[in-house]
Structure 1
Amino acid sequence: MSAELQFSASDSASAALRASVAGHSLATAQWCARLGWPVHPLAAGRKTPASNCRDCRTPGHTAAGCACLSAGRWCHGFHAATLDQRRIDHWWSKHPEFGVGVACGPAGLVVIDIDAHEAQPPARDRLLPGIPIGDHVDLTGISTGFHTIAVLAALRGMPSPAEDTTTLRVRTPSGGMHVWYRAGDPRRWQCSAGSSQGRALAWQVDVRAHGGYIIAPGTTTSAGTYKVLGEVRQPAVLPGWLAQELERTGHLPAPSVPAPRPVPPRARQAVLAAGGGADTDRLLAAVLAPVAACAQVSEGAGFSDTLNRAAYTLGGLVAAGRLTQESAERALTETAATARPGQDRRAEQIIRSGLAAGLRRPLNPGSRR
């Protein structure tokens, strides 16, 4: 371990912190991965990702050109996030002092990060972006993100996310709060900072989504521990009113229509080799096309749901005698590997579950799910 990542034996505070988190971080990382949340290490006692090579500190060095990622080493923060339990066990067993970060985009999460640092509010047009606040409105007492998100919710006739007891909420060491939600659909919600003069939901309210990460509950830093509030341990679906506010404030990318992506030849050959005719081949291409199209983006795109639907449909075709289970599994595996390389174990679980469900409901020719 590099000196940067080690705790000094002479530093009693750091030594105590290491003792308190040893074993807990691995359990936290494993728990997150079981929920389908890819995880990556955070530097010991800090909120920032752990580095793994000197090149990471070199200007111009990017995740795309880093050998660490292809070798299965942590590097570049959420770009290294994984669901692989063996890799997770290796990383955190060797470095129990590491914290746990969750890559929000691949996990399908939208986290509202509410800041509690009291400060003088900014100009009125930046308090709630896009919502004019007249000079006659008294802003006395507004000094944190808890105030601004409460005002926004009240304007929409809704309770503040900070008071949402139906979802996972985490108290931060600084007194702020992380309110966790599931996206609920494949839209790629974008990150933002509440202090930004560009995209922002509310002053002192950050949004963690695609292109960002969130600190896992239970993680301990030099400032304290991220503690779950209440009894709820799972994120609820992002409320409709909040999704509308995020869309209004520019938290979606510009609309784009990806070019059609062909189904991998080996996937189609698997069916043809099993005796599938031209009709089956065309049907297979139609079923697998949405899975193949997920390769157009590096994360998100509703990959898990898309692969599950394809597996369910092919399971129904297997049950109806249109193709063999072996050829269906091979076609799904080949297509998933092309769309999401390096996620074989996750894809295998989804395929197995989807096929099993589809096998119980034969799909007659011409029918649709």
Structure 2
Amino acid sequence: MPAELQFSASDSGTPSPESSVAGSMLATASWCARRGWPVHPLAPGLKTPAANCSACRTNPHAPADCPCIPAGRWCHGFYAATLNQDRIQRWWSTRPDFGIGVACGPAGLIVIDIDAHPAEPPTRNRILPGIPISDSVDLTGLANGFHTIAVLAALRGQPSPADDETTLRVRTPSGGLHVWYRAGERRWLSSVGSSPARALAWQVDIRAYGSYIIAPGTTTSRGSYAPIGTTREPAALPLWLAQELERTGHLPAPSIPAPRPVPPRAHQAVLAAGGGRDHAQRTLATILAPVEACGQVAEGAGFSDTLNRAAYTIGGLIAAGRLHQADAEQALHEAALAARPGQERRIEQIIRSGLAAGLKRPLHTSGRRP
């Protein structure tokens, strides 16, 4: 890890790593795990997780069903994140060029991700989602996330998180800033990859449950993620920020409603054998219920894996002659589009790969994956 990433022995009860293994990703990964932050490898020089094994790449499946993770392999990104020091030793000893990702949800972390990308500011209603900005307000000079988070903080009479010296802050190679906080008891949702309406502010995203953050000390081809100031531990999430996150939809729905009625075409997906039309409808409704429920949960809550699993299961039932292919596929598409409107291309790709895998493995006795 970089020399500026210094941790004292009192931080963890173990000797300070920087003096003996400066630049070692293994030392940084071990340090994170000792703090209860599960880690997973990032591809060398990149911000993305290390590639899956060939079997996982060629046979799409949900992480929960993958034998690689319990076997100690790093497939499926942050789903493979671990606190196991033996596993960490093996991973980074084998590949010392791996970067380090921290799975935010299991680590109990929420990170304010402030960007400084050169871009034209959006319309006023998107600068602070949910907060109208009058035309009388002069926005001259507003150019990045540092400015928008400062505006939000000023509106609430609070200092900007970018200036919070009580918590761990990490400068990114692009000039942005990661501000780390402890999430507390609430299961905050990530806004990375979601609609702009759920960002905290323009160029200010949230990394929490359903995403990962790059560990301080990691180096990519663009530079290092370097901590600033002297604080090396995340502070508790400030109350005012928690209120803003709740306002902008970063909490899951209080409860998942009962599944909506099966789309009309699903009623035509009749079983070729084993129970008839009513059983077909119940089977399909059971498979589609988790996909439909995703419509009540913000992006980042596992939609891709849920849809992939449903497509795989339906493919297996089609292969076994238990569902009519055209109608079952149509029902799946309708449920997915209802849950994630406007994501037709992504949905089509997930369904196509999941069905292709399922069609190779007929399910004769149940809708569960073997």
TM-score category by the smaller chain?
0.5 to 0.7
Aligned match of 2:160? 160
How far, CA to CA, are the matches of 2:56 and 2:169 in structure 1?
33
Q: Could you tell me which residue of structure 1 aligns to residue 190 of structure 2?
A: 191
SS at match of 1:74: coil
Alpha-carbon shift at residue 41 of structure 1 (Å): 0.3
Aligned counterpart, 2:239: 240
Q: Is 2:79 the partner of 1:75?
A: no
* Deviations 1:299-347, CA, capped at 9 Å, x for gaps: xxxxxxxxxxxxxxxxxxxxxxxxxxxxxxxxxxxxxxxxxxxxxxxxx
Query: Secondary structure of the residue that 2:112 maps to in structure 1?
Result: strand
The whole-number CA distance in structure 2 between the counterparts of 1:143 and 1:90 is: 44
Aligned to 1:219: 218
What displacement does 1:194 show?
8.6
Secondary structure at the counterpart of residue 67 of structure 1: coil
| Cα deviation, residue 226, structure 1 | 0.5
Matches within 5 A, 1:277-296: none
Please show how residues 1-369 of structure 1 align to structure 2 within 5 Å. Answer: 24-58=24-58, 60-184=60-184, 186-193=185-192, 196-256=195-255
Check conservation: 1:56, 1:62, Cα contact below 8 A: no
- SS at 2:89 equivalent: helix
SS in 2 for 1:198: helix
Distance 2:111 2:62 in 1: 26
Segments of 4+ moved more than 4 angstroms:
none
**Structure 1 residue runs without a partner (length 5+):** 1-20, 259-369
Name the CA distance, whole Å, in 1 between partners of 2:45 and 2:227: 19
Distance 2:253 2:244 in 1: 16
Paired with 1:104 and 1:125, the residues of 2 have a C-alpha distance of: 29
TM-score by length of 2: 0.62
Decide whether the 8 Å contact of 2:126 with 2:197 is kept in 1: no
Structure 1 residues 193 and 134: alpha-carbon distance in aligned structure 2, compared to 1, 3 A threshold: farther
Between the aligned partners of 2:39 and 2:227, the Cα distance in structure 1 is: 18
Q: Do 1:194 and 1:203's aligned partners in 2 also have CA atoms closer than 8 Å? A: no
1:157 is paired with a residue of what secondary structure? coil
Distance 2:192 2:52 in 1: 27
Q: CA deviation at 1:67?
A: 1.9
Structure 2: 5+ residue runs without aligned partners?
1-20, 258-370
1:202-247 alpha-carbon deviations (Å, 9 max, x no partner): 0001100000000000000000010010110000000000000000
Between 89-98 and 54-63, the greater mean CA deviation after superposition: 54-63
Distance in structure 1 (CA, Å) of the matches to 2:194 and 2:142:
15
Match of 1:16 in 2: none
Q: How many pairs are equivalent?
A: 237
| SS across alignment from 1:30 | helix
Provide the C-alpha distance between the structure 1 equivalents of 2:173 and 2:243, rounded to a whole number of angstroms. Answer: 30
8 A contact 2:148–2:201 mirrored in 1: yes
How far apart, CA to CA, are the structure 2 residues paired with 1:148 and 1:194? Answer: 19
Determine if contact 1:42/1:48 at 8 Å carries over to the other structure.
yes
| TM-fit CA distance, 1:136 | 1.7
Q: Are the structure 2 counterparts of residues 98 and 53 from structure 1 closer, same or farther at C-alpha, using a change threshold of 3 Å?
A: same
What do you get for the CA RMSD once the two structures are aligned?
1.9
